[in-house]
A and B are shown apart, each in its own frame.
Chain A
């Protein structure tokens, strides 16, 4: 299987919360990242969490890490149409290099 797995699609209503899930396989992951890719654009680093943390909050974004289950989630509160994009989960497993390995991305669709 893939090193980082995500569901491919998520559809939510504007104003609701979105939760995007990710699982990874390498227990030696040091940093876990969430990137956002809007149509025709590059990747924007949204947030990241160090593996010794279990939660990180940044405005509307909440990252939860369950290291035992190797599960990472991104919660977006009060989702807006501008949040529609592809969200990539990534892990870095190469000590000292922090080269991220990416999942296939979750396409978030926000509808009125």
Chain B
């Protein structure tokens, strides 16, 4: 299995600012992903973080709003840019190893 650490675990941010969330995996995973979980909703895939190249974004998500980095196999960052209250959500990092996907504890973001 893989242990995934995210930070910060929660934050309250002013609208118009940006927040960068970090994700560290304790072992090399084949793929890393970022999800959003809005209150009472399921997890929605934002993008696949690709090592050393631009992330692959899902429909409805764009790089300008959610820039992602993955400089090596075990680390990735997600930035939520120019935040608005609609960005208030839980953001989860995930890493997959073979057929299993593991998750961090999430970052609870509140935008005021």
Contacts and interface: CB of A to CB of B under 8 A. Distances in A.
A100 to B, nearest CB: 5
Interface stretch (A13-21, A38-46, A70-78): A38-46
B31 A33 contact: no
Nearest to A101: B45
Main secondary structure of the interface of B (DSSP, over half): strand
Instruction: Give the size range of B's interface with the partner.
Output: 20 to 34
A102 B80 CA distance: 22
Contacts of B106: 41-42
B42 interface: yes
Interface residues of A, number: 23
B102 interface: yes
Nearest to B41: A104
A43 B104 CA distance: 7
Interface of A: 4, 31, 33, 35, 40-45, 48, 50, 88, 92, 97-105
